[in-house]
Chains A and B, each alone.
Chain A
Amino acid sequence: MTAVTIIITVLGITASLALYRVIFGPTPWDRLIAVNLISSKVVMIMVAAAVLFERRIYLDVALVYAIIGFVSIIAISKFLEGEDTDRK
């Protein structure tokens, strides 16, 4: 029980440290990097919970969350890239 608490607490603390960059980041890309980091932390928390609490269903949730996080990061960075697509 203690190992579970320590792992999930450390991961949660690092995720909230990254939240600082989401709030105060000067440019949109800083916020995007921090959001990417938080999403991968959430995936790791779910995998740890699935193994340590013996709940298999969390693994499927983690896989789907990883896929959605990746697609949203790519979509937002393409959106921030803007309209000058002539640079090829």
Chain B
Amino acid sequence: MIAYLFIFLGLVFIFFGTLGIIRFPDIYTRLQTSSKCDAAGAIALLVGLIVREGLDSLSLKILIILVFLLLTNPVASHAIARSAAIRGIKPWRKKKKC
């Protein structure tokens, strides 16, 4: 039961993270949802799968995949943001009410 609760939480995070990619206006804001919601969703989903499986050799491998995803996700976001910044993409700003 706890396992399915975690899995449901992860699916909600992943769904809204993808929705944010479609709704937000520019690269950096899209990168925000893609890095944060994706990492949190991955943690919740894979922890739910580990709880459902129980502690054995298979869940140890899932733990390795989880650590790998957590290490690489911010690095990939950082690389994309840095290359966009070097090529001179300006961040989107809210229009001030005057």
Contact = CB atoms under 8 A, between A and B. Distances in A.
Indicate if A touches B (C-beta under 8 A): yes
A59 B45 contact: no
B83 A29 contact: yes
Given A37-B38, A43-B65, A67-B68, A29 B27 contact: yes
Given A40-B38, A51-B52, A81 B86 contact: yes
Nearest to A13: B15
Given A37-B21, A40-B42, A14 B15 contact: yes
Interface in B43-71: 45-46, 49, 52-53, 58, 61-62, 64-65, 68-69
Interface in B10-47: 11, 14-15, 17-19, 21-22, 27, 30-31, 34, 38, 42, 45-46
A48 B49 contact: yes
A33 B58 contact: no
B5 to A, nearest CB: 12
A63 B86 contact: no
15 contacts: A3-B4, A17-B22, A36-B77, A37-B38, A40-B73, A41-B14, A43-B69, A47-B46, A47-B65, A51-B52, A59-B61, A59-B62, A63-B68, A67-B68, A78-B83
